[in-house]
Every structure is written in structure tokens, then in C-alpha cells.
Amino acid sequence: METLIYDYIVVGSGIAGLTAARVLSDYGRTCVLTKSILKEGATHYAQGGIAVAMQPDDSPQFHLNDTLLAGDGLCNEYAVRILVEEGPKWVRELIELGAQFDKVGDHFHFTQEAAHHKRRILHAGDATGREIEKTLGNTILREDKVQFFPQTSLTQLLINEGHCVGCIAQHKGKPVRFIGKAVVLSTGGCGQIFSHNTNPPVATGDGIALAYQAGCAVQDMEFTQFHPTTLYLGDPHPASLFLISEAVRGEGAILRNCHGDRFMTDYHAEAELAPRDVVARAIFDQMNKTQTPHVYLDLEKVKQNPTERFPTIYKRCKEANIDITRDFIPVAPAAHYFMGGIQTDTWGLTTIPALYAIGEVACLGLHGANRLASNSLLDGLVFGHRAARHASEHQTHLAVPPRPLLASFEQGLADSERARVLASKQSIRELMWAHVGILRHQEGLLCAQKGLKELEWLTHSHSENETLLEVKNMWQVATLMTEFALTRTESRGSHLRSDFPIRDDLYWKRHLSKTKESTDGL
């Protein structure tokens, strides 16, 4: 196969990957591999904003306190401190690069979101991620020091003598070997393993699965955040649901059940501004009590003109014949963000030398058991810088790559096999939503585990077909997530066990991790 040699290989083109690539390009030849088109990632669809303590009445300490509280006792406080203290510097750099965040007069407009006790969410309408991605992307293109490889799917990490020396990827259907001093994974989350999710179609957990297969430790795989409010338009659900930003509730919108009654005041003192896990479970409970598939979001108390403040949401709802200036928006929870992932330190370094992970694919305990709203973009920005800095200083030599692969694998799938693979993909998604979703219990988790075991045949195929490889990755992540969820016999943050409803700090105030070599399980 073709071999391409770079100094640094970044996999993923969201805020974390673009940040790392921009910094690394000052220290050597850098390339970015991305599974689809450059902008097709979670960053592009991030609506609410980026949380940063830049207001006179705010401080990094206040931001830290809110993050720790939302994380339900499981945050890595050292990592959180890095996030909140380094964040303002890199957000100001984004502004200097041209990011157009909303202002009122000459001052930036900060909104509020759930579990924040200050207005610290900097935003660009309701398309903040798109604005940041555009700013970083245009800057990199102007500097012309990074080579992009779109339509390029990661298929294998190359490990030699314990070090990561590169990767193999399918570039426009053909395998290519990329060799470099360091590989930076910024492949995003895994929401597509659930039938109800807000993630783009590319979010199938590829980076997590392939890093685990290569020998990396994974951590906190039981913690998936379910966003309380996605636009409900009836079944069948599409691959991804449209998110109704938390900023809508931050600006005053309230939740009502099918009878028109406000209910969040019955569940938490902060009502609609309670942590995401609380709001999602409250909605889920109301749906069960009223036997309806959704609740409603009422924007009457939003002071700003909703069409100006939330133009993307207004447009999407209008397409569904919902006028947010007068109509309630039907909403329901969906899988949104993954707090677990590849275990890293605060420099993004994994348990394999020269292999880094940043953004949603990584887990350093930053978000604990439940991520604070709008900390995800800041996470990618801060730790994208840190990983690039560490790689540029410590990964300075090309290691000897392993021998080129001699085997030739079949690329195509017969129609019958393709149908079987796609049916398995749907089975994974349905199993995970039904049994490893918002409310979990042993019986359901064992059912999911049994169903996934029946799909283990996926791992026995030697085909290099991209569809099959993607579903293999989904199976691997789903299997790990189910195992971790069975192991943690308590309720904490986004992990709610109806058979173990109490948070147990005595035994479970700790992180779970696992490597492929761990034969004794968790």
C-alpha cells in the first residue's frame, strides 16, 4: 500500500483536531485525516456556546466549582483547573483570529445555561461551533501548512515496540499507511450507537474502539450524557436528531408536560437550569407518567426575539410547521455526549507513547459523571493546545514502522452480507437505547450484553470494507459501555441504575478503566 510520511498525524477535524493541527504545523509537516468532509463533526453542530469565565463578576474558581458540582463527585479537579484557567487565553486568541461572537453594543453577550451560576456562555447566535470551526479552518488554510485528507477513515493504529508510529486509513476507498512522530486522535464521540442521538453520522466511536484494540486503556465508559431537549417529530427516528440548545432554557424557556403543566420545579430547586442528567431524567419520567413520547418547551418567557437569538432553531422548527414565537416545541431526550473514552493524562497522552487523544474521544476525568453545559468546546480548545505542545516537545524522532502489511483483504461486501451488517448496526442502536439508555438496571444490561454477544460474528470478518469496519467499532464501544455500566452498581451523574438508586461514595467514588490485555474484566 502507499506510504506517506509526516511529522504529525491528526485524525479528526473538529475544534480539538484543528487546534492541535494549527499548533503542530509550526513544528513539522502535519496532516489531518477526516472521515467525511472537513466540517462534518460534532463541532459544526454545536449550538449553545463556549463556557469561559471572562465576565467581571465571574472567575475561573466559580467556573471550576460549577464544573465539579455537575460532575457529581467524579471530576479530576486538577484537569478542571487547567480547563478554566487556560481557557480564557485561548478564547481570546480565537477572537483575535476573527471569531465573531455575539455582542450587545461593544461588549460580548454571555448567556446562561443549566448548572452555571454565572452568565458565562459566549456564543455566535445558535451556531457557535460552526463559527469556531470556520475561524480555525480559514486560519489554517491561509497559513497553508497543513495537508487535509477528507473522506479518509481510520482503520488501524500502527504500534511498534510499544510506540505508536502511525496509522492505516482508507483514503477514498484505498488503504494508505501514514507514518509520523506522533498520532493525535480527535475523532469525537460515539452517539450513533444509540438509536436516539444528536450526533452526526460519523460519530461511531472509531477512535475509542481502535485505540482499545491497539492496547490503550479506556476509562469511564459507563457515562453517556443524554441531552434533555431534541426536536421530536415522531418515529421512526432519523440517524441524528435536531438539538434544541440548552441556551433556550438559559434565556427563560420552560418545560411543560402534555397537559401544559410546568414540572421541573417538582424535580430540582433550579428547575429548568438543573444539571442535564436531572432534566433528562425528569422529562423521561414525565413521558412515562403521561404515556407520551415527548414534552414541550415553551419560549414565551424568552425576553430576546427568539428568531434573532436562535435563527438555526427557528428555521428548523419552521420547516416542521412549528413557529417558536407562538408554538410549543415538542422535545425528548437523546444521547448527546460521551464522558468516557481513551484514558489520557492532562497533556492528552494515552497509555501508548506517541499516541494522543483530545476532545470527546479522550477521557482524563475532566467532566466526571456529567459534563457541564458548553464545556465541550473549551475542552477541545484547551487540550488541543496542550497535546500539540507536548507532542512538539517530546515526539521528535520518527520511530521504525512495522513491516508493511502483505495480506490483501476483500474490500467489497456481497449484497446479503451488507444487509446483515446494516441489520446488525440497527440492532446495536436499538439494544443500547432500550437497555443502556437513560434508566438502567441489571436485567436490561444483561439483555443488552446477550444481544451484543450474538453479534460478535462481526469481529471475525477480515474484510476491509468501511461499512463493516464502522459497525465493528460500534459493537466494540457498545460492548465496553455495557460492561462498565453493569460493573458500577450505584447511581451517579448520567449513570442511573434503578436497582442501585443511591450514590455510593464509599466504594464508587473512583474511575473504572480497562485495557484489552485485562483478562479478569473490570
- DSSP sequence for 116-166: -SS--EE-STT-HHHHHHHHHHHHHHHHT-EEEE-SEEEEEEEEETTEEEE
Q: What is the DSSP letter of 273?
A: G
Alpha helices in 339-441 (DSSP H): 375-394, 415-435
CB 329 within 8 Å of CB 244: yes
Distance CA 370, CA 275 (A): 8
The pairing of strands 2-5 and 174-179 is parallel
**Would you tell me how many other CB atoms lie within 10 Å of the CB of residue 26?**
11
Cell numbers for 5: 510520511
Give me the sign of the Cα torsion angle 15, 18, 23, 27: positive
Q: Which of 81, 276, 386, 492 is catalytic?
A: 276
Give me the sign of the Cα torsion angle 462, 187, 364, 431: negative
What amino acid is encoded at 130 in this protein?
R
CB 312 within 8 Å of CB 126: yes
Does the active-site annotation cover 276?
yes
Distance CA 60, CA 83 (A): 9
Widest CA span in the chain: 66
- What's the per-residue H, E or C state across 231-244? ECCCCCCCCCCCEC
Whether cis (ω within 30° of 0) applies to the bond prior to 236 is yes
Using alpha carbons, list the distances in angstroms from residue 412 to 337, 461, 470: 32, 12, 14
Distance CA 141, CA 128 (A): 20
Distance CA 164, CA 156 (A): 11
Active site residues: 276
